[in-house]
Amino acid sequence: MLQIQEVTKVYEGKVTTRALNQLSFEVEKGEFVAVMGPSGSGKTTLLNLISMIDVPTSGDIVFNGKRPRQLNSKELAYFRRRQLGFIFQDFNLLPMLTVEENIILPLTLDEQPVELMEDRLAALAEKLGLENILQKRPNEISGGQAQRTAIARALIHSPSLILADEPTGNLDSNASREVLELMSQINQEKQTTIMMVTHDPIAASYCDRVIFIKDGEFFNEIYGDERRQTFFQRILNVLSLLGGQVGDFSTIRLP
């Protein structure tokens, strides 16, 4: 459903930075893919290109057979609103709105009928365990609840692709596990394709495949197997080849 074809992104400025260099890979519909790589390797840049926040310097991105580059601005806005869902490290909830209002915001912007909003809201609130906090505001809920709210918001319009940038970066290990299990469940039940940037090998071990990039280039990829523990070990092995911020993960055991 997603093809990244020899994508290069160069940021011009005082110093010119080649953030991505001839990067190519494909993502199948229904896959849950992690993208890992050292700080500065181009991961956020890649998500920004896929979500059309920014355009490649060269190369192409094909999404469900379309090249979003060729859409006009109105088509592009529609495409982004309908096809994509976003989950960020810092949740990005609007502080003035309640949890409920934050979740239905994409539908409100799309002027969808109230009944549809209520149905979808009820279903997601139940699934994500948000029923008792719908009237609260973001500063009155925990980090895990905030991220589950953001996931509900990303899902409310049934996007075909969810892009997540370090979704567990601000969560403790219990809340992380909850969020990852939910993402994995949504991926399996709804066949929603998910692409998740993460530094955390435990988070990556929930995915079907991990793509590693280094200095803006494809470095390696590995596929998961039946056991998350062995996949986790294999992820650590590639990270140690990759260098950078790998540190002391090797002694971690999965909970």
Does the footprint of Mg ion cover residue 89 (CB under 5 A)?
Answer: no
Contact region with ligand ATP (CB under 6 A), list: 37-45, 58-66, 75-83, 228-236: 37-45
Q: Which partner in Mg ion, ligand ATP, none is near 78 (CB below 5 to 8 A by kind)?
A: none
- Establish if 37 lies at the interface with ligand ATP (CB under 6 A): yes
Among 4, 19, 182, 194, binds ligand ATP (CB under 6 A): 19
Q: Which does 147 bind (CB under 5 to 8 A by kind): Mg ion, ligand ATP, none?
A: none
Q: Select the residue interacting with ligand ATP from 14, 39, 247, 248 (CB under 6 A).
A: 39
Q: Does 44 bind Mg ion (CB under 5 A)?
A: yes
Task: Choose, by CB under 6 A, the member of 40, 59, 143, 169 that binds ligand ATP.
Answer: 40
- The distance of closest approach from Cβ of residue 245 to Mg ion in the complex, given in angstroms and rounded to an integer, is 12
Q: Provide the CA 111 distance to its chain's centre, in angstroms.
A: 25
Interface with Mg ion, residue 170, by CB under 5 A: no
Site for ligand ATP in 186-205 (CB under 6 A): none
Q: Which stretch binds ligand ATP (CB under 6 A): 25-33, 35-43, 108-116, 142-150?
A: 35-43
Binding partner of 17, given Mg ion, ligand ATP, none, CB within 5-8 angstroms per partner class:
ligand ATP
The 3 state secondary structure assigned to the chain is CEEEEEEEEEECCCCCEEEEEEEEEEECCCCEEEEECCCCCCHHHHHHHHCCCCCCCEEEEEECCECHHHCCHHHHHHHHHHHEEEEECCCCCCCCCCHHHHHHHHHHHCCCCHHHHHHHHHHHHHHHCCHHHCCCCHHHCCHHHHHHHHHHHHHCCCCCEEEEECCCCCCCHHHHHHHHHHHHHHHHHHCCEEEEECCCHHHHCCCCEEEEEECCEEEEEEECCCCHHHHHHHHHHHHHHHCCCCCCHHHCCCC
**Contact between 168 and ligand ATP per CB under 6 A:** no
Q: How far is the CB of 43 from Mg ion (least distance, A)?
A: 5
What span, in angstroms and rounded, lies between the C-alpha atoms of 160 and 33? 14
Kindly determine how many residues on this chain lie close enough to bind Mg ion according to the rule CB under 5 A. 1
- Tell me how far apart the alpha carbons of residues 83 and 214 are, in angstroms, rounded to a whole number: 28
Distance CA 168, CA 34 (A): 13
- The reply on whether position 30 binds ligand ATP by CB under 6 A is no
Residue closer to ligand ATP, measured from CB, 11 or 78: 11
* Residues near ligand ATP, by CB under 6 A: 11, 13, 17, 19, 37, 39-45
